[in-house]
Amino acid sequence: MAQISSREQALSKVADLEDALEYFRDGTVLMYGGFGGIGTPPTLIEGILRKGVKDLFLIGNDTGFPDVGVGRLVTAGRVRKIITSHIGSNPHAGELMHRGELEVEFSPQGTLAERIRAGGVGLAGILTDVGIGTVVENGKQKVTVDGKEYLLETALRAEVAIVHAAKADPFGNLTYIRSGRNFNPLVAMAADFTIAEADEIVPLGSLDPEVIVTPGIFVNMVIPSKGVNWRWAWEEKKGG
């Protein structure tokens, strides 16, 4: 492998947790990879909790489990609003919602993914017929195309996105393991500042371009993971 030049070193996006925590403050609009915690970076979540950040506005596909993923933020009462597909795996989220302490906007998972993707590629929104004739359409604009009615679902963006990658190089190119990929490539595109936590940071040039899922152009900072992603370990143990 060729020696890394001083220019490449200067362009490295690798930082430490304390650098990353500078981008989180009370009220931050935060996107994250989910799927019960497999896509959520544990070191960053721990850092956010330790910093004491509160009143977060979260956007992601679920609320994790009570003590796993973003569920830790919900359980600690650090979240004021969330746009998500479901909260059933975290009973604390349901309790807080019913007490009026957590505002929850539900969005079907496919619709949510497309809204995030739209935010990442610069679209204003998407058209979908999911929710027509139900409570989902309340307060939303309707558009007729070729005689068929659709709901206009607005695009979603965040101030900060946090993603959990299997491997990253110093330029921020990312790979994932199986279901650890989930929403991560989408949220990485749809934030003003994207922080990737990687289980392994590899030398520049060692990642096969054909397996890179998130190009480094979408990633602003990379930090090494110091936590254990329990579901990745479980998947590795069972062999898939």
What is the rounded CA–CA span in Å between residue 179 and residue 6?
36
pLDDT at residue 234 in the model? 45
Q: What is the b/e burial string over 120-142, where b = at least 16 CB atoms within 10 angstroms of the residue's CB?
A: beeeebbbbeebeeeebeeeeee
- Lookup result for tokens 């979408």: 218
pTM above 0.85, yes or no: yes
Q: What is the CA radius of gyration of the chain?
A: 18
Maximum CA extent, the chain: 61
Strands 158-168 and 174-175: antiparallel
Report the side by side order of strands in the sheet with 142-145: 125-128, 148-154, 142-145
Superfamily of domain 15-125+156-238: Glutaconate Coenzyme A-transferase (3.40.1080.10)
* Tens-digit pLDDT profile for residues 125-169: 999 999 898 888 888 999 999 999 999 999 999 999 999 999 999
